[in-house]
Amino acid sequence: MHATDRSPALLVRGLEKRYGDVVAVAGLDLEVHPGECFGLLGPNGAGKTTTIEICEGLTAPDAGDVVVLGHRWSEAGRELRERLGIQLQETQLAEKLTVGETLDLFRSFYRRGRDVRSVIALVRLEEKVKARVGTLSGGQKQRLALGCALVGDPDLVFLDEPTTGLDPQARRQVWDLVEELKATGRTIVLTTHYMEEAERLCERIAIVDHGRVIALDTPRRLVAGLGADQIVFFSLTEGTPPLPPETVVAIERAAGATHAARPTDGGWELPVRATHEAIPALLAELDRHALPLAELRTHLPTLEDVFVSLTGRALRDA
């Protein structure tokens, strides 16, 4: 029952879900191609988890259509469970079991699947096979959760915030793992509110806000859509009064900003096209207003800047 390569691995149309008065998902559409790593990027509370749990058949939608690997949950629930690998955001595995016992348990649920030994090697827990789950670090627990998602040799893997709460090193280990998984050709759908994660792992990204997809494309094209080559950050010396709006507009115009300047971290971010022209113009304009410059930096535009330009809010504080 393998879906052909042309039919989508996951198709979501007009998805809606509300909890009482709170609208979690408000008409969301998605199409995930077989073999790609697809990311749902958005702030906390954007509806990512609700969406992914509806796709996983754990939550019933109020409206809309979900087709997973060519099947609907109502028609082929048990068959779908055999072919999906799922990692949930808040699962705590049984603390008193060992790593090996936990994976043996999950393996026993599937008719066909991977050899548990190979999964342990894949998630780099060879030395922890006999360790109780309760003694593992956060990163090790997360890798074990990934292992549990993979023992059934799934065609489609759902990862809900796989690195939330992990330290940078543990996060990179999970990323390496996901990349190995991608190399085996499995379809992966992951949610995250870390733009570096989405940028690094995903072929295509849907930016989700308030239960809707507000942009969907490859990371490169999403960033290119900004029209800016660089983001210029500048700040003024302490004690300088706040910039009046007309001064901000004058600065934007002088520097040739592609989008409105945005106040951030005690300074301003200005998306510009040609840095070598924009920076001298910016400095001259500041000089003209007798504004004392404290700091000046530039960075390449990221998905964070895309989110800001789409919503006017930063991903991390949205």
Partner 1 sequence: MRDRVRPAIVELTLVRLREFVREPEAMFWVFGFPLLLALGLGIAFRNRAPESVRIGVLESVPAAIMASLDSAEGLAVERLADDSAARQALRTAGVALVVAPGPARGVEYRFDPSREDARSARLLVDDAVQRGAGRVSPLAVREGIVRERGARYIDFFIPGLLALNLMGSGVWSIGFAVVTARKQKLLKRLVATPMSRAEYLSSFLLSRLFFLVIEVGVLVGFGALVFDVPVRGSLGTLALVCLVAALTFSAIGLLVSSRARTVEAVSGLANFVMLPMWIFSGVFFSSANFPDAIQPLIQALPLTATADALRAVMLRGAALGSAPVWTELVILLGWLVVPFVVALRIFRWR
Q: Which of 12, 68, 122, 148 binds partner 1 (CB under 8 A)?
A: 148
From 74-82, 218-226, 232-240, 307-315, span contacting partner 1 (CB under 8 A): 74-82
State in angstroms the smallest separation of the CB of 45 from partner 1. 18
Would you state the structure tokens that stand for residue 277, as one six-digit string? 């022209």
State in angstroms the smallest separation of the CB of 116 from partner 1. 5
- 131 part of the interface to partner 1, by CB under 8 A: no
Give, in order, the Cα–Cα distances in Å from 102 to each of 17, 87, 105, 159, 301: 33, 14, 5, 19, 43
CB atoms within 10 A of CB 110: 16
- 108 part of the interface to partner 1, by CB under 8 A: yes
Within residues 194-253, the interface with partner 1 by CB under 8 A covers: none
Residue (of 246, 234, 239) closest to 293 by Cα position: 234
From 43-51, 92-100, 264-272, 306-314, span contacting partner 1 (CB under 8 A): 92-100
Would you state the structure tokens that stand for residue 254, as one six-digit string? 């002088």
Would you state the structure tokens that stand for residue 47, as one six-digit string? 């509806």
Give the integer Cα–Cα distance in Å for 249 and 252: 5
- 281 part of the interface to partner 1, by CB under 8 A: no
Beta bridge partners of 71: 68
Beta bridge partners of 20: none
52 vs 306 by CB, closer to partner 1: 52
91 vs 237 by CB, closer to partner 1: 91
- 78 part of the interface to partner 1, by CB under 8 A: yes
State in angstroms the smallest separation of the CB of 160 from partner 1. 11
149 vs 226 by CB, closer to partner 1: 149
- 1 part of the interface to partner 1, by CB under 8 A: no
Would you state the structure tokens that stand for residue 255, as one six-digit string? 């520097």
- 76 part of the interface to partner 1, by CB under 8 A: no
**Which are the contacts of 36, defined by CB distance < 8 A and separation ≥ 6?**
9, 187, 188, 203, 204
What does the DSSP 8-state code read for residue 297? Answer: E
- 110 part of the interface to partner 1, by CB under 8 A: yes
Number of residues in contact with partner 1, rule: CB under 8 A? 36
- 104 part of the interface to partner 1, by CB under 8 A: yes
Helices 168-183 and 138-150 sit at what angle, rounded to 10 degrees? 20
- 129 part of the interface to partner 1, by CB under 8 A: yes
Would you state the structure tokens that stand for residue 73, as one six-digit string? 């949950």
Q: Which of 29, 31, 101, 196 binds partner 1 (CB under 8 A)?
A: 101
State in angstroms the smallest separation of the CB of 154 from partner 1. 10
- 68 part of the interface to partner 1, by CB under 8 A: no
Q: What are residue 8's phi and psi, to 5 degrees?
A: -70, 150
Q: Give the DSSP H or E segment for 100.
A: helix 99-108
Asked if 157 and 188 count as a contact pair (C-beta separation under 8 A), the reply is yes
Could you list the residues that contact partner 1 (CB under 8 A)?
56-58, 78, 81-82, 84, 86, 88, 90-94, 96-97, 100-101, 103-111, 113, 115-117, 120, 129, 132, 148, 152
